[in-house]
A and B are shown apart, each in its own frame.
Chain A
Amino acid sequence: MRKQESLKNRKFIKKTDILLFLGILLIGLSVLLIFSALPYGETVIIEHDGEVIFEGKLGAQDESFELEGSGGIILGVDIAEHHASVTHASCPDQICVRTGSISKPGETIICLPAKISITVRGSTEADAVTF
């Protein structure tokens, strides 16, 4: 009888073991999921000469503002639902305006004369771009 009982008990513990194991797996997976999903929201970062002067989530709210960069160059920045762009600039080359709008992680608008860069950051971006 005691032997049977201990066998029963053992079986029972084994069952809970499996259940708990599954539970841990579930929790572990959900934690992983949460953390992999967290940085998914894309961020717009504007830097001037190495210093971050603006940081905001893409799609959080529509914003339009003007920035003054090096050499007194004024940039008009537009951050809309899913993209960022430079609408006007007082620099001579207008490269930043012609770059158009950026939306994907890793994309950058750079205004060399004003030393201003606008970057979209996200979880899937490449570490660098060669060109």
Chain B
Amino acid sequence: MILQNNINPKNSPDNSSHENPKTEPKKSTKKVITARRLKWLSLLFCVLAVVLIAISVVLHNKMSEHTVLTYSMGSYVQQRVYGADKKTAAQEAASMITELENTISWRVEGSDIEKLNLKSGGEFIEIAPVTYDLLLLCKDVSELSDGAFDVTIAPLSHLWNFDSGDEYIPDHALIDELLSSVNYKSILLDDGSAALKNKITALDLGGIGKGAACDTAVEIYKKHEVSGAIVACGGSIGAYGRKALGDSWKIAIRDPLSDDGSTSLGTLEIDEGFVSTSGNYEKSFTKDGTLYHHILDPHTGYPAASELTSVTVLGGSGALTDALATACFVLGVEDGKKLLAKYDAEGIFIDQKQQVFLTSGITEEMFTLSRITSSPYTVVSS
């Protein structure tokens, strides 16, 4: 602005000092001025437009977001939805997740799983399509992981009862006795009906319930054609579409060494998909120098003696990534990677030496370690 003023007076005396006919230069200066004014005006409009766009983008971003926190599956369900139908979609997703819980939770009276557990060793009973599909998926992962994941672990997990928070180590003989009932092959499925072959067999879908809840939510988001949404049921996450500005989703992975879970090990950036993590820090206690955590090895009946502290899996369904994360934790890095390859899923393995192993599908752009100087983690390239 100041420069402009300096140049202007310099220019006008220059014009008038010329000895040409007086009308012509005047006309030309007028023309120049109006042209300049036009330019000024158009440029001013440009500035205004930039400012308005910036404001509207920020406002739109803020206003287009709908967040809601509800409680289901013994956990919290956090949803953030963008798009025209965001409120209806979030509301419907929340109630559908509760409905899912009432269908697949062994704790709920009259649920498919409660009925199956009650009638174990008996005849086939008809179950909801969602239960049937989940049991089909569970059996499949069990088979491909050689039983590292097994939903018939229920009698043992109820015996250990990590949910209670009690530091209880069951009697060895009792564990061995119940171990004989653990076998995914005793889940019998037939055209919408299911049965449990042995009287002592029981099911607990708790290991895939949170992921299945994410599947349910994403299905609702698709139905309502929202532009983007993210759902977190406990530590299981489902991402759909895009954020208001088209950014991808940033998912922080909990630092297994963190006592209270407040720090993250790194961030995984994804466009769409499901993410689940299994770690030995959850529902655990230490007794006589041994860590007892809630991920039981179906072959031993004891907490999995894994070299890992946490496994994060990225895949195409929440129930699947939940199951795969548990299986990979039990299997370890090598066998875990092989299992993930069978399902086209990706994984981030963290072992007790703070080494991070990535599958080939996790690119450098997708995964970044936390940029804290004290981070003890190193990514080991395979």
Chain A residues in the interface with B (C-beta under 8 A): 1-2, 5-6, 8-9, 12-13, 15-17, 19-20, 23-24, 27-28, 31-32, 35, 38, 47, 49-50, 93, 98-100, 102, 104, 106-107, 110, 112, 115, 117, 126-131
Contact = CB atoms under 8 A, between A and B. Distances in A.
B43 interface: yes
Nearest to A6: B28
Contact of B250 (A9, A127, A131): A127
B250 A50 contact: no
A54 to B, nearest CB: 14
A104 B68 CA distance: 21
B374 interface: no
Contacts of A98: 260
Nearest to A130: B277
A131 B277 contact: yes
Interface residues of B, number: 63
Given A35-B54, A131-B254, A24 B46 contact: yes
Interface of B is mostly: mixed
B28 A9 contact: yes
A129 B249 contact: no
A67 B251 CA distance: 30
A77 to B, nearest CB: 17
A44 to B, nearest CB: 15
B208 to A, nearest CB: 15
Given A31-B50, A35-B58, A93-B165, A1 B251 contact: no
Contacts of A107: 262
A14 B275 CA distance: 55
Given A128-B230, A130-B236, 17 more contacts: A1-B18, A2-B24, A9-B32, A16-B36, A20-B43, A31-B50, A32-B54, A99-B261, A110-B76, A112-B71, A126-B267, A127-B250, A127-B251, A128-B78, A128-B239, A128-B252, A129-B252
Interface in B8-41: 11, 14-15, 18, 20, 24-25, 28, 32, 35-36, 39-40
Contacts of A31: 50-51, 54
A131 B282 contact: yes
Nearest to B80: A127
